[in-house]
Amino acid sequence: MSRLVVVSNRVPVPDKSNKAPAGGLAVALRAALEEKGGIWMGWSGKSSGEEETGELTSIQDGKITYALTDLTDRDVDEYYHGFANRVLWPTFHYRLDLTDYARKEMTGYFRVNRFFAERLVPLLKPDDTIWIQDYHLIPLAKELRQMGVKNRIGFFLHIPLPPADVLFAMPVYETLIESLAHYDLVGFQTDFDHANFVGALVREGIGEALSGGKIKSHNRIFKAGYYPIGIETAAFATYARRAIKNGMVKRAAQSLEGKALVIGVDRLDYSKGLTQRLDAYEHFITANPDYQGKVTYLQITPKSRSEVPEYEAMQRTVAEQAGRVNGELGTVDWVPIRYMTRSVARPVLAGLYRMAKVGLVTPLRDGMNLVAKEYIAAQDPDDPGVLVLSRFAGAAREMKGALLVNPYDTEGTSNAIAKALAMPLAERQQRWQQMMDHLLVHDVNHWCDTFLQDLMQMPGYQAAEAA
Ligand SMILES: O=P(O)(O)OC[C@H]1O[C@H](O[C@H]2O[C@H](CO)[C@@H](O)[C@H](O)[C@H]2O)[C@H](O)[C@@H](O)[C@@H]1O
Ligand SMILES: O=c1ccn([C@@H]2O[C@H](COP(=O)(O)OP(=O)(O)O)[C@@H](O)[C@H]2O)c(=O)[nH]1
């Protein structure tokens, strides 16, 4: 059986001192690695200062070897904060206004990808299956091919892929598209992302769609498809059921004093639509005065990528906005918004989701959004809450029982909050059941298995295949 080699920017190394269960992606990939045996390689999250680090740190856990590399300060700055998070992230999230393209950082991005390839090659065996994750590592297959690697290589993009008009505004788009042609399978989160990719190739005259999801481009035939990522649905539902015994969850429930809970959980990221969401909540409270003092909105927003200027600026904007709404609408015995920037462990999150009558997931653009799926998995079947979901989250392609909103439409989102809070039990149950049935089948193992099955069906790397 062929070994699996996963490469991602961040590597969820198991931490025995941390009792919190890992996220679904880590669990699914770990399960696949455990079954096949394999390697998970990536950045340690640490900087080695000015000097390039010599050795990979290797951690053995059962049949899995975690292989971690430090990066220099310059690498972290140019590759991660710079090109990945100031060019690729905003462009792929349709935010050309926030894209800050610089040639130096682009060079750093390609340099770090080559560095990853150099580190990976000595670890590889000829029949390993390689699965590369996300936008940080788009050029990695090309680098590996140049070093003679002929293994099957798959790539999964966790964030959206925008249409050609947006994508082509990025100065280096040709090189990145060409890089994708070195994979055997390229996976996206949704049918829209997949269609945008094929559309961009066709429009540029650099690719054509063949039958069976195959694509001919840059003298290669490879496959592209969509594989919406799932969560560990059944396990998450169990955490949520058990969470009522958790001390912190109990204290949170008592502190509500009977008020209806509305919850939002997002990294502090401009793609998550936080300012628009706060506007919508303010509008809801103002337009529905009967709810004053009867509802509490808890927004859990761990800080993220704080070294990137746009993220740092957002920390102030969102905190000030939450403070202003509380100042203007709050009373001596009611705070409309509880806003926190500390992260919350997943078992506690599961309990909070279950307690919440409304899950507010309103990104301006999101690859998938696992919070939307976790909120549904955590609900009590006898009294489920309602998901208010942005139509621009990848999750909206699957979660048909949600109240879909346009997050730019303040009044529309405000109306959806009101509708969710007033929704009769029978309708809530019918909507929830439909989504839960879907999530139980389309869980994270399903995502992992379908991607790997499709990858294994590819014939392997043949440079002259399409000639
Ligand atoms: O590693 P960070 O820079 O701290 O960022 C955290 C992760 O954010 C992104 O998540 C995406 O993947 C999710 C799972 O597929 C998806 O639900 C979500 O919509 C995406 O935004 C990023 O793509 C990851 O690489 C980061 O680790
Ligand atoms: O305080 C927090 C906030 C978020 N999360 C987890 O972070 C993930 C966020 O994933 P999502 O796909 O929603 O967005 P991303 O941050 O990857 O863009 C989810 O699994 C959340 O449960 C968490 O564990 N603690």
Q: What is the pLDDT of residues 271-325, one digit of tens each?
A: 999 999 999 999 999 999 999 999 999 999 999 999 999 999 999 999 999 999 9
| 4-230+446-457 CATH, one of 3.40.50.2000, 3.30.930.10, 3.90.1200.10, 3.20.20.70 | 3.40.50.2000
Ligand 2: residue of 370, 387, 389, 392 to mutate (most ligand atoms within 8 A of CB) is 370
Expressed in angstroms and rounded, the spacing between residue 158 Cα and the centre of ligand 1 is: 6
Residue 16: is its pLDDT beyond 70? Answer: no
Q: Which CATH number fits domain 233-441: 3.40.50.2000, 3.40.50.720, 3.30.70.270, 3.20.20.70?
A: 3.40.50.2000
Q: Give yes or no: 382 in active site.
A: no
* Residue range 204-254, pLDDT digits in tens: 999 999 999 999 999 999 999 999 999 999 999 999 999 988 999 999 999
Q: What is the pLDDT of residue 17?
A: 62
Give the integer Cα–Cα distance in Å for 299 and 207.
Answer: 44
- pLDDT above 90 for 1: no
Predicted pLDDT at 161: 98
Q: Where are the domains of the chain?
A: 4-230+446-457, 233-441
Equal fold, 4-230+446-457 vs 233-441: yes
pLDDT of residue 464: 41
**Sequential DSSP letters for 413-440:** HHHHHHHHHH--HHHHHHHHHHHHHHHH
Q: How far is ligand 1, taken at its centre, from the CA of residue 369, in Å?
A: 9
| Ligand lying nearest the CA atom of residue 231 | 2
Q: Which ligand is nearest to the CA of 132?
A: 1
**Mean pLDDT for all residues in the chain:** 94
Structure tokens at 180: 């994708």
Q: What is the pLDDT of residue 28?
A: 79
Out of 81, 93, 136, 158, which one is annotated catalytic? 158
Residue 128 bears catalytic tag: no
Share of the chain above pLDDT 70, in %: 96
Q: DSSP secondary-structure letter at 97?
A: G
Residue 168 Cα distances to 94, 177, 222, 296, angstroms:
11, 10, 22, 43
ipTM: 0.98
- Substitution site in 8, 157, 265 for ligand 2 pocket (most atoms within 8 Å of beta carbon): 265
Residues with CB under 6 A from ligand 2: 23, 265, 267, 300, 302, 343-344, 346, 349, 368-371, 374
pLDDT reading at 428 higher than 80: yes
Largest CA distance in the chain: 74
State the catalytic residue, choosing from 70, 134, 193, 366: 366
- From residue 273, give the alpha-carbon distance in Å to each of 179, 280, 326, 379, 424: 31, 11, 19, 24, 28
